[in-house]
Structure 1
Amino acid sequence: MLTPKDHKRASFITSDSTFCYVAIPFRLKNAGATYQKLVDKIFRPQLGRNMEVYVDDMLVKSKEALNHVKDLEETFTVLRKYRLKLNPGKCAFGVSGRFLGFKVTQRGIEANPSKIKAILDTGPPTNINEVQRLIGRIVALSRFISKSAEKSLSFFKILRKVKNFEWTDECQQAFEELKTYLARLPLLVKPSPEDTLYLYISSTSQAMSSVPLQEEEGTKTPIYYVSKVLNGAESRYPPIEKMALALVITARKLRPYFLSHPVA
C-alpha cells in the first residue's frame, strides 16, 4: 500500500476528475524494484533454500517429494502473514519446469536447452550488434559457465572498438571453445540446509571468477558460477585486492546462500 502522503504522487486525470492510487500500480517506473525488495525481505529465510522469487514469479522447490508439502506450508504461512494473494489459475504443483530460463528438476538446476542451442547454432558474428547479442546470450547462461568473463573477454574487447569491427583468430578460437564447453554444461545443485559451502575464488589481470561448491560423499558439485570483467581501475588492483573484490562481489550476488550457510 502507498502511504497517504504518496497518494498524490500516483495520481492520474480522467474526464471526470483526478484520482489517486492507494496501492502501487505495476506501471510505475520503480514498482518492479520496490516489489522485488518486498518479496526478498519477507521470503529471505527461504531464498536459495526452498524458494526462488523474481518479482511476481515464485518457485517453491524441494529436493525430495516428501518435503514438498512442508515447503509449501512454510510459503503459504508467509503469504497469509503479509496478506498476499495468488492467482489459482497461474499456480502449478508437483512439477518440474523452467523458471527464469532455467530448468528445475529433482536432480538440480539445468540450463535451458533452447538458450544453449541458440549459441551452438549461430555462426561467427559479422557486426557489433551480433557480438552484443552473443554476449547477452552468454550472460543469460553465466551461472552455468565456469569463468564466463574470461571465456568472453575477446568479445568484450570488440565492443571497445565500435567503429572498427574485427573478428580475429583469437575471437574465433574463444567462440569455438565456448561452444565446446556449452555442449557439456554442469548441473547445478541446491545446497542442503546447514551444509558448509566451499568457496573457490580466482582472478587474472582482467577478470575475476568464483564458485561455491557443496560436498556430498566426497564429491564437490557447483551451486552457482560468478564471473566479472574487471574495469580499468579494478584491473590495476594488486592480486590480493582482486581476490578481496571477488569475495565482495560473490557475497553480494549470492547473499541468500551466505546468510543461510557457513562458508569455508
Structure 2
Amino acid sequence: MNGVLRGLTWTTCLVYLDDIVVFTRGDVRKHLVQLATVLERLSVAGLTLKLRKCVFAARSMEYLGHELSDEGVRPVERLITAVTEFPRPCNPVEVKRFVHLAGYYRKFIEAFGSVMAPMTRLLKKDCEWQWTEEQEFAFERVKAALTTKPLLVYPNFGRPFRLVTDASQIGLGACLMQDQGRDWQPIAFASKVNNDAEANYPITEVECLAVVWSVKLFRPYLYGRMFEIVTDHAALKWLMTRPNLAGRLHRWSLTLQEYDFQILYRPGTTNVVADALSRAPAAVLAAVGRERIRWPDERRVWDGEDEAKTENHELPTT
C-alpha cells in the first residue's frame, strides 16, 4: 500500500497495511481534491474499498486504537476501559498482560517506565512474587493516567523544538516540547529504567546519557534543526565544550556533534516535569504538587518517524 500511495503518505494520507486516512489542513474543497487523488491511485492499482468500512468528511475518527481530531490524538475509550478495569494481577503472567496492554499507550503516560518499574521487576527471573504497596501504587497510577484521556498534539516542523531531560540512578526521562502559540506544550513523553550498568554511572554521566538517549529517540524531529535542550545539571553545559573527554563521554560528545542545539540550565525546582520522569513512583507523586510548567494535557508524538525525518512538513490535524 505504501508503494501505491508513494509521494502522498505523510502529506496527504496515512497508511498502515490496508488502513488509510486522508487528512486535510484546509477547507472541504481541498479535502475532496486530495481524496480524489488517493482514490485514483487505488483505482489504477486495481484496489477496491468497501463502502461500509469508509468514513467521509469526519472531524474526528478512530485509527489504530487512537482517536484523531484537529486537536490531536487521544487513546480510544474502549481501550482505556480495558486498562482501567483490568483486575489486580495475581501472578507474573497477569502482570505481563497488563504491562503489554498499558504499554500500547506508554507515550501518553508521564514516567511510564519509572512508574511501572515495581511491576516489571516482578517479571525478572527468580524474582519472588510479592505484591506490595509499591506495586499497587504503580498499578493504580497507570490506570489514573489514562482516565484523564490524555491528548497529544501534532508536531509542527515549522516551529522550534525544546527537549527537556533529566536522569537518576533509577531511570531516564525526557519530554519533547514546542511553542505552538499557546505557551510551551509537550509533544511526547519518554522514559526508561536504567539497566544495572547505567544505574552505577556517576551523576554527570547518567545526565549526559539522558541527553544522548533522548536525542537519538527524537532524532526524526530534531536532526537538521536548531533546538534547545533543558537540563537541571549545570555541568552538561561545560561538558559539551570540553576538548579532552575520555571513554563514553567522548563517544557521546561525538554523537551529539551532528546535532544543532543549545543547552539551557534550569534548576531542578523549576524543571519538575522532566525530573518526575526519571524518579521513583513516590517522588513522581510528590512532584505533581510542585509542577511549575503549565501542561494542558499529557501528549504523545506522532508515529511515522522515518517519514518525518526526511520531509519538512507538518503532520496531520485531520
TM-score over 0.5 (shorter chain): yes
Distance 1:230 1:52 in 2: 34
Q: CA deviation at 1:258?
A: 4.1
Give the 3 Å change call, closer, same or farther, for CA 261–174 of structure 1 in structure 2.
farther
Indicate which of 133, 142, 145 corresponds to 2:109.
145
Relative to the length of structure 1, the TM-score reads 0.69
- 2:172 is paired with a residue whose SS is strand
Question: Can you list the C-alpha shifts for 1:113-151, whole angstroms capped at 9, x where unaligned?
Answer: 112112222332111111011101211111211221112
Question: Can you list the C-alpha shifts for 1:195-248, whole angstroms capped at 9, x where unaligned?
Answer: 333333333334333333332223233333333334444545522133202211
Relative to the length of structure 2, the TM-score reads 0.59
Give the 3 Å change call, closer, same or farther, for CA 256–208 of structure 1 in structure 2.
farther
1:243 and 2:207 matched: no
- Alignment-derived partner of residue 55 in structure 1: 17
Amino acid at match of 1:85: L
- Alignment-derived partner of residue 57 in structure 2: 94
1:135 and 2:103 matched: no
Distance 1:257 1:65 in 2: 24
Query: Where do residues 49-128 of structure 1 align in structure 2 (5 Å cutoff)?
Result: 50-66=12-28, 67-72=30-35, 75=38, 83=45, 85-89=47-51, 90-95=53-58, 96-128=60-92
The CA RMSD measured in Å over matched residues stands at 3.2
Query: Where do residues 32-47 of structure 1 align in structure 2 (5 Å cutoff)?
Result: 42-43=6-7, 46-47=9-10
Give the 3 Å change call, closer, same or farther, for CA 178–88 of structure 1 in structure 2.
closer
Amino acid at match of 2:54: C
- 2:166 is paired with a residue whose SS is strand
2:173–2:191 CA contact under 8 A, matched in 1: yes
Amino acid at match of 2:18: D
Amino acid at match of 2:32: V
2:173–2:210 CA contact under 8 A, matched in 1: no
Higher RCO, 1 vs 2 (CA within 8 Å, ≥6 residues apart): 2
Residues 117-126 or 203-212, more deviating: 203-212
Distance 1:233 1:75 in 2: 50
1:151–1:174 CA contact under 8 A, matched in 2: yes
1:203–1:246 CA contact under 8 A, matched in 2: no
**Identity value in percent:** 23
**Can you give the 5+ residue segments of structure 2 that lack an aligned partner in the other structure?**
221-302, 314-318
Amino acid at match of 2:209: E
Distance 1:206 1:50 in 2: 42
2:13–2:21 CA contact under 8 A, matched in 1: yes
Q: CA deviation at 1:166?
A: 1.3
Residues 172-181 or 147-156, more deviating: 172-181
Residues 49-58 or 97-106, more deviating: 49-58
Indicate which of 142, 152, 172 corresponds to 1:208.
172
Give the 3 Å change call, closer, same or farther, for CA 75–65 of structure 1 in structure 2.
same
**Can you give the 5+ residue segments of structure 1 that lack an aligned partner in the other structure?**
1-34
Give the 3 Å change call, closer, same or farther, for CA 64–221 of structure 1 in structure 2.
farther
